[in-house]
Structure 1
Amino acid sequence: MKTVWISALNKSAARVEAVAATLRKYGLQPAGHAWTDDPAKLAWRAAADAFEAARADLWLILAEPAELALPSVRYGLSLFAAVLRQRRGVDVPTAVLWQGAPAAALPPLLDGALVLDETSAWAAKIVARVNKAAAPVASDFRFAVLGDERLGQWFEIGPRSGDWDGVVFGIAGADARIDFQAVGPAGGLPEKTVLEFAQQGLTLEAGEQTFDAWAVRNRIDAGSSCYVRVNGCPEAVLFMPYAEDGDADATVLRLC
């Protein structure tokens, strides 16, 4: 039986029960949680861990316009999506269920989600989506978020194949700042690190946004990563391989 993981943004028990009952009628197993809007404590990460523990097959977000208007909620949803993608290596099937017509734009990292309306035959579309093979992640980079309330929030970046001659990582947003960086094996924070030609206080422009960036010249391959600790919730992050002449393509991910 396929498992559908429900993230209820508005914590309405009646709505969750109704959605869960409908999923059961269609032969799906519901599981999930009430969304906790506390990115400072990485509350979204506990939900992502629970998603994995349940071996869920599809992520179903019960949308609420007021909640989706909050940058902190959008940020948490974006990181949840990014972590699932990195852990599974595929674009995890995702659906957003509205009580009527969609009333707010989704965070960019959820652009591929199936958008549904409770007044339509939404459950049949969930069944079709959950039984469709998930597409492998198409990007040539790895992007994940690690840490907890004690360790802080760490972004992990690296190539999926080949190697980079270092990493440049920047953040945009007045309420966020970088305060540490490290290099080590992929998949977990290193106990110690040696940085080569580390740089701080760089300023980069991309589109209409300004990014405060740090850089390091350690060679990074598919088995290693650059880790950057960030305080706060950046509106967007930018990263790219280090290039002596500055001629490298940057990736910009909007998180809010």
Structure 2
Amino acid sequence: MKKVWITSLVRDKDLVSKILSTIKKYGLKGDGHFWVDDLQHMAWLSPKENIIAPETNLWVIMGAEKDIEKDSVRYGLSLLALSVQAKRGHGFHIMWISPEKEIPQKSLPTPLRGAEMLTASSASLGAKMVARANTPPPAIDMEYRLDVHANPGLGVWIEVGPARGHKWKGAMVGANGGEIDAHGVGSAGELPRKAVLEYPMQGLKLELGNDQYTAWAVQNFLTEDLSYYIRIKDIPKGILFGPYSEEKGAEVHVIRF
């Protein structure tokens, strides 16, 4: 049976029960949790295994615009979304349900801006949920790999690298806010215990529009099997990353939390 996982930012048991009843009515299995805003203990990690489970085909997030005003909530949701997309692909079905007024898609963190936006009172809600849950997610090819590794002992690490068929002559990650305090290079999908860094750089100052970034970089040659890892402390407003380049106007990828 196809499964729908609900992440509710709204502490409204009646509303969540109503959505779960709709899911059941359409022959789907529903489960979920209420969001816990606790970055220190990495509470955002708790639902990850349920969302990336093979039987889960749709992730529903419930919340109003006021529920994503706090930086800690936006950052936690972003880290969870990036972790899910790294395992299930960028085409994985995500639906955002607002309790009343539909919120602007552009107000969401970058990793969630592909979500389908609906309200809890939408007449087509049930039909759309069953359609998404029974439709394989589209394959979206990316030029890069991006993942998050986190536990209370090691902190939050961002992994970046080239996608299959691509190669990078070095890598760079910059943070807008927060603080990068460690980096390394190693096998894709696993934090390196030791690393040989080629021409490591720290504290690079970058500007993108009105945003200021502080970046770290290396010139290690990266393939689809090798990644660059950086650890971020506190709560950044966003990150940029890509192949290392000394040229102005070099292409970078930007994630805003």
Q: TM-score, normalised by structure 2?
A: 0.93
* Alpha-carbon displacement from aligned partner over 1:13-56 (angstroms, at most 9, x marks no partner): 22222211111001110011111112233221222123224731
2:103 and 2:117 in contact (8 A); partners too: no
Q: What residue number does 1:153 align with?
A: 156
2:64 and 2:101 in contact (8 A); partners too: no
Q: Which amino acid is the alignment partner of residue 20 of structure 1?
A: L
Task: Give the drift of 1:88.
Answer: 1.6
Q: What residue number does 1:37 align with?
A: 37
2:242 and 2:253 in contact (8 A); partners too: yes
Q: Verify: 1:138 aligned to 2:156, yes or no.
A: no
Task: Give the drift of 1:66.
Answer: 2.6
1:20-169 mapped onto 2 (5 Å cutoff) = 20-53=20-53, 55-103=55-103, 105-121=107-123, 122-160=125-163, 161-169=165-173
Task: Give the drift of 1:103.
Answer: 4.1
Task: Give the drift of 1:170.
Answer: 0.3
SS at match of 1:19: helix
2:171 and 2:219 in contact (8 A); partners too: yes
| Alignment partners' CA distance in 2, 1:56 and 1:11 | 23
180-189 or 72-81: bigger deviation: 72-81
| Alignment partners' CA distance in 2, 1:106 and 1:2 | 27
Q: What residue number does 1:192 align with?
A: 194
1:42 and 1:153 in contact (8 A); partners too: no
| Alignment partners' CA distance in 2, 1:45 and 1:91 | 21
2:240 and 2:253 in contact (8 A); partners too: yes
In structure 2, the CA distance between the partners of 1:55 and 1:2, relative to structure 1 (3 Å rule), is closer
Q: Which amino acid is the alignment partner of residue 44 of structure 1?
A: W
SS at match of 1:41: coil
1:187-226 mapped onto 2 (5 Å cutoff) = 187-226=189-228
Task: Give the drift of 1:244.
Answer: 4.0
Q: What residue number does 1:242 align with?
A: 244
SS at match of 2:180: strand
Q: Which amino acid is the alignment partner of residue 153 of structure 1?
A: V
SS at match of 1:61: strand
Task: Give the drift of 1:114.
Answer: 1.0
Q: Which amino acid is the alignment partner of residue 199 of structure 2?
A: F
| Alignment partners' CA distance in 1, 2:108 and 2:171 | 29
Task: Give the drift of 1:219.
Answer: 0.9
Task: Give the drift of 1:246.
Answer: 4.7
Unaligned runs of 5+ residues in structure 2 are none
Task: Indicate the RMSD between aligned Cα atoms, in angstroms.
Answer: 1.6
| Alignment partners' CA distance in 2, 1:124 and 1:245 | 50
In structure 2, the CA distance between the partners of 1:58 and 1:233, relative to structure 1 (3 Å rule), is same
